[in-house]
Amino acid sequence: MTEKKPENRYVNDLRRYRYTQAQVLRFSGVIVPAGLSVVFLAAVALFVAGDQVRFGEDWVLIAIAAVIGGYMALNIGANDVANNMGPAVGGRVLTVGMAVLIAAVCESAGAILAGGDVVKTVSKGIISPGEAIDVATFRALMLSALFAAALWINLATLLNAPVSTTHSIVGGVMGAGIAAAGFELVNWPTMAAIAASWVISPVFGAACAAALLFFIKKKILYTADRLAEARRWVPVLIALMAAAFAAYMAMKGLKKIWRPDFVEVAGFALACAVAAFLWAKPYIARKTQTLTQSRSDLYTLFHIPLIAGAALLSFAHGANDVANAVGPLAAIVSTVGQNDGIAASVEIPFWVMTVGAFGIALGLGLFGPKLITVVGQKITRLNAMRAYCVALSAAVTVLIATTLGLPVSSTHIAVGAVFGVGFLRELLENPNKRKLRPGHKLNATADEAFNSKSYKSTRRLVRRQFVLSIAAAWLITVPAAACLSALIYAVVRSL
């Protein structure tokens, strides 16, 4: 037997060291975020425990509910916020770190400054408790719904599936409500409207984003003088985005601070559009003087509008969706000291709002980059122009749906918009483009083989596995959260 050469031993030792180092780094990438999350939840529990005078005998229940509400907020930050920042990252306008920082600041600001609107204790009218359930049952119902929704969103994040947090909490409330008092407790017309939004939201988002992208391609990219057309049309597009986001913020993001009527919203949007156009016209003129006719240069014209749009979407998301994290918690807090009767609606206390805002920001920073990468890079290839279409379509679609009274999910809209721009690219870029795939069929001539349908393939610019997995996650969100909630409710009531 021959001994190994010393240099070979050194090489093997170095390989083992590198492997061990890689495993330690991988392990630390999991344990550190999990540890920080545990510290946050422990701090929430200690805060409630330190204020036992306010909560009296119910402080243990409130502490448990607050921890679950914080856990829900962490999961919303990890999953839902990716829909706003993913396109900007995919378009190479922002790094993942900058996207996380901007989103964390804007989400927290939206939640604390403009959030906390009146929250229905039955979560958007899914159930109508009335006199059918007592306070103890109602507390168990809300606790189960909150925990089930958080668990489902956590599982969806692990599976790289962006899901609707609103639908998750809706399913949780429905499942626990059925377990508590039967099917008659559920408001089925509301559930039917929510089910319809599974189709309405992504289709609206996809159609709007595809239409915007098609317009830009025809008016700017597919022209002889791209810079001249950009000077003409990009200020108009920026003005359109300003109007859409002004109306979006007035109707959705600032509804606690300002509740304008339709005329006021229209006037505010028009004023913002005019101001944006007057700013964009000379800015784009100066910018194009240093650019070439290449597409990559034209994409830079959309950087600032895209960053502003993503930030505003995050602000509005924080103002609206923080209630999904802490609405049931606020409902439980509202029952402190009550032995009979359940309020139809409650105000979210400031400390509850703070738990939701900080939890969303922390969850985004610790776990959000995973879904940001999926939405921004893995579904289809984005650039600044396509990402701009996604962001603008999200605002426009929510405005249209709100005006028509249609229940839609911002998550479904944003992801549907990403799919929309991807499928439009396939439609526009695939004609007369085909490639051979190896097979076993023999053909008489090369032309026959080339023209054979079995050997013809189109360029797929959207990864189909994400289409199927995300659509499946959307479809089963409500029933999955409902089943989890019913099971948790049964366990809670048996204790």
CA 150 – CA 130 distance, rounded (Å): 26
**pLDDT score, position 381:** 86
- Over the stretch 301-318, which tens digit does the pLDDT of each residue have? 999 989 988 888 888 777
- pLDDT tens-digit readout, 278-290: 999 999 999 999 9
- Measure Cα distances from 321 to 273, 326, 414 in Å: 27, 9, 15
Place of tokens 């939405």: 375
pLDDT at 483 over 90: yes
pLDDT at 9 over 70: no
pLDDT tens column, 421-460:
999 988 887 655 544 444 445 555 656 555 555 444 556 7
C-alpha–C-alpha distance, residues 312 and 184, integer Å: 40
Confidence at residue 80, expressed as pLDDT on a 0 to 100 scale: 81
Nearest to 348 by CA among 316, 312, 324, 317: 324
pLDDT value of residue 372? 85
Residue 101 has pLDDT above 50, yes or no: yes
Specify the range with the lowest mean pLDDT, choosing from 15-29, 54-68, 180-194.
Answer: 15-29
Nearest to 414, CA basis, from 238, 204, 258: 204
Mean pLDDT over each residue of the chain, to the nearest integer: 80
Does residue 98 surpass a pLDDT of 80?
Answer: yes
231 pLDDT exceeds 70?
yes
Joined together, the tokens standing for residue 46 give 């200690």
Return d(Cα 110, Cα 430) in angstroms, integer: 42
Judged against a pLDDT cut of 90, whether residue 274 lies above it is answered with yes
Residue-level pLDDT at 406: 65
Residue 27: pLDDT band (50, 70, 90) is: low
Token duo for residue 122: 């039955």
Question: Distance from first CA to last CA of the chain, Å, rounded?
Answer: 67
Question: Does the predicted model carry a pTM greater than 0.75?
Answer: yes
Cα(334)–Cα(352) distance, integer angstroms: 11
- Averaged pLDDT, 112-140: 63
Contact by Cβ (8 Å): 372, 85: yes
Q: Which of 450, 426, 429 has its CA nearest to residue 439?
A: 450
pLDDT of 258 > 90? The answer is no
Q: Is the pLDDT of residue 54 over 90?
A: no
Answer whether 236's CB lies under 8 Å from 277's CB. yes
Alpha carbon dihedral 117, 107, 74, 78, in 10-degree steps, equals: 130
Indicate if the pLDDT at residue 298 is higher than 70: yes
pLDDT at residue 277 tops 90: yes
Dihedral sign of CA atoms 213, 218, 219, 223 in order: positive
Q: Amino acid identity of 40? A: F
Residue 476 has a CB neighbour count (10 Å cut-off) of 16
Provide CB contacts within 8 A for 241, sequence distance 6+. 276, 305, 308, 309, 388, 391, 392, 395
Ranges 74-88, 120-134, 145-159, most confident: 145-159
Confidence of residue 125 (pLDDT cuts 50, 70, 90): low
**Is 143 in contact with 453 (CB distance < 8 Å)?**
no
* Residue 43 predicted with pLDDT over 90: yes
**What pLDDT shows up at residue 319?**
74
pLDDT of res. 435 = 46
What pLDDT score was predicted for residue 350?
Answer: 81
Mean pLDDT, range 94-103, rounded to an integer:
86
- 371 vs 89: CA distance, rounded Å: 11
Closest CA to 365 of 126, 111, 33, 41: 33
Residue 206 confidence (pLDDT) above 70: yes
What pLDDT was estimated at residue 210? 94
Averaged over 43-47, what is the pLDDT?
92
| Average of per-residue pLDDT across 139-150 | 91
Give the pLDDT score at 135.
Answer: 80
Q: What is the DSSP letter of 380?
A: B
How do 119-120 and 345-346 pair as beta strands? antiparallel
Average pLDDT rounded to a whole number, residues 242-271: 82
How does DSSP assign 244-269, residue by residue? Answer: HHHHHIIIIITTTT----HHHHHHHH
Q: What percent of the chain has pLDDT over 90?
A: 26
d(CA 355, CA 480): 26
Give SS3 for 456.
Answer: coil
**Is the pLDDT higher at 453 or at 48?**
48
More confident residue, 121 or 407: 407
Q: Is pLDDT at 24 greater than 90 in this prediction?
A: no
Q: What's the average model confidence in pLDDT over 162-189?
A: 84
In 159-261, which residue ranges form alpha helices assigned H by DSSP? Answer: 165-181, 188-216, 226-248
Per-residue pLDDT, averaged over 271-277, amounts to 95
- Kindly indicate the confidence band of residue 122, based on its pLDDT and cuts at 50, 70 and 90: very low
Query: Distance (Å, rounded) from C-alpha 129 to C-alpha 134?
Result: 9
pLDDT digits (tens, 9 = 90+) for 371-385: 888 888 888 888 899
Q: What is the pLDDT of residue 401?
A: 76
